[in-house]
Amino acid sequence: MFRREFLKQTGLATAFLTGGVPTLAFSPQEEKEIFVLIFLRGGMDGLQLVAPASDKFYMDARSAELRITEKNGLLLKNPLNNLDFRLHAKAKPLKELYDGNRLAIIHACGLANGTRSHFDAMDLIEKGIPQKKNVTKGWLARYLETTTGVENLILPAVAVGDQLPVSYLGSDKAVSLYSAADFSLKGDEKLSGILKSWYNQPDALGQTARNALKNIASIEQKLPKNTDGSPKEYHPDAAYPTEWYISELSNNLKNLAQLIKMDTGLHVATVNFGGWDTHDNQTYVFPQLTEALSRSVAAFYNDLSRFHARLTVVVMSEFGRRLKGNRSGGTDHGHGNVMLVLGQKTAGGKMYGSWRGLATEQLDNGVDVPVTTDYRTVLGEILLKRLKNNRLDVVFPEFKIPGYLGIAA
């Protein structure tokens, strides 16, 4: 008990109590693919991010403040069914990536289960399963287990934040942290030697502690420092936005970019971005969230220019919102939604999926965009084509890809 409490006080808990860190011998010449998942918590309104602006059912269901209009929406090339699909006006940086054939948009996709519960939807998606059941591992944990080479990396999997998401549940390869400077020992310089002597037992906790100490030392060697030993300020190769409503996501992605540039072997990363549960005041909140997402993701991508050949970024949410606006100036929990895939080797500049339209008879339960593409189809294609993992039967049990969309080159 005392040993665990000491870990919390010194900062070691971040290093390995969050999930465990194996002994890792970094090989600088190994350059694995980098997969980043940005999860929009709260149920992002895909019909205010990407929508058929001139669709009469869409216009009838929502006020102009809750939809993309022909006047201010950003027209997309290669849309679904040759319809007038447009991006939200605040998503101009995403439009530029789309026009540059780096960004693909998949519409009417998501969890086929049909739940409108935040907790249930996120739990099922992050565990990669279709129905509630006793599952002890998340889909990213299963992916890491079935992927060769991650055992040779210092920091194979990271969650940017203060805790691991359910997708990493059961993994001993993932850690949660905000920045590279967090992955260090806090306290007297003699602390490392003291801890090594304390954790010399052959039990699981002792082994994990010794492994964590080795990896902390490796990362500290790579962390640029000032003459007084303090970490140097990171100077990115792109301008990250700093406005108050953008800074959280922007800072998290900037910290992640620094970790990637340190060549620690980072292979998989997750970033949460909340606030999308817009039952009311959506007119005010949604444009800010969209601007934050668009500008931060664009800065992150531009900052990592030398990694473009092996970087794939996915943006998704647990579900979409209702077609019809509510009486509180917002939208309620829906079903089908938008996923975004960004990368140099993404077949971007095109919309993917199957669009049935927004007539009542085409909607799920007569009110929601139906899910015509399972989210696992998108993720599965990336795992197979980009990350070269052919164990989808383990990563996503009870699921077989019905056909490739063609998003991963």
Contact between 373 and 401 under an 8 Å Cβ cutoff? The reply is: no
The pLDDT, as a whole number, for residue 182 is 72
Cα torsion through 319, 323, 324, 327, rounded to 10: 20
- Write out pLDDT tens, residues 7-49: 443 444 444 434 444 433 334 435 799 999 999 999 999 999 9
pLDDT at residue number 202: 67
By the 8 A CB rule, do 370 and 386 touch?
Answer: no
Confidence at 137, pLDDT banded by 50, 70, 90: very high
Assigned domain for 156 exists: no
Predicted pLDDT of residue 215: 66
Over residues 115-127, mean pLDDT: 97
Q: What gap in Å lies between CA 88 and CA 81, rounded to an integer?
A: 19
Provide the CATH number for the domain around residue 97. 3.40.720
pLDDT of 101 > 60? The answer is yes
Better-predicted residue by pLDDT, 253 or 218: 253
Q: Name the more confident of 67 and 176.
A: 67
Which residue range forms the structural domain that includes residue 55? Answer: 31-147+231-261+267-395
Domain membership of residue 219 (yes or no) is no
Residues of the chain with pLDDT > 90: what percent? 72
On the question of pLDDT at 265 being above 60, the answer is yes
All residues at 6 or more sequence positions from 80 whose CB lies less than 8 Å from its CB, including other chains: 107, 351, 352, 353, 354, 355
pLDDT over threshold 80, residue 312: yes
pLDDT beyond 50 at 169: yes
What pLDDT, on the 0 to 100 scale, is given for residue 158? 94
Q: Which residue do the tokens 């809750």 mark? A: 66
Specify the number of domains making up the chain: 1
Task: Answer whether residue 51 shows pLDDT above 50.
Answer: yes
Reported as type and span, the H/E element at residue 109 is strand 103-110
Per-residue b/e over 331-356, b at no fewer than 16 CB within 10 Å?
A: bbbbbbbbbbbbbbbbbbbbbbbebb
pLDDT reported for residue 190: 52
Decide if 164 contacts 148 (C-beta within 8 A). no
Cα end-to-end span (Å), the chain: 51
Assigned domain for 404 exists: no
Contact predicate 271/292, CB 8 Å: no
351 in helix, strand or coil?
Answer: strand
195 within some domain: no
* Rounded-to-integer distance, Cα 215 and Cα 17, Å: 14
* Structural domain includes residue 125: yes
CA distance 149 to 366: 48
Q: What is the largest CA-CA distance in the chain?
A: 71
Q: What DSSP character marks residue 312? A: E
pLDDT at 44: 98
Backbone φ and ψ for 35, nearest 5 degrees, come out as: -115, 125
Range scoring the smallest mean pLDDT among 43-47, 61-65, 184-188, 202-206? 184-188
- In the predicted model, is pLDDT for residue 291 greater than 60? yes
pLDDT number for residue 185: 52
Is 196 among the domain residues?
A: no
220 part of a folded domain: no
Instruction: Record the tokens describing residue 384, joined without a space.
Output: 């197979």
Tens of pLDDT, residues 318-349: 999 999 999 999 999 999 999 999 999 999 99
pLDDT of residue 222: 76
User: Which pLDDT belongs to residue 314?
Assistant: 98
Tell me if 56 is assigned to some domain: yes
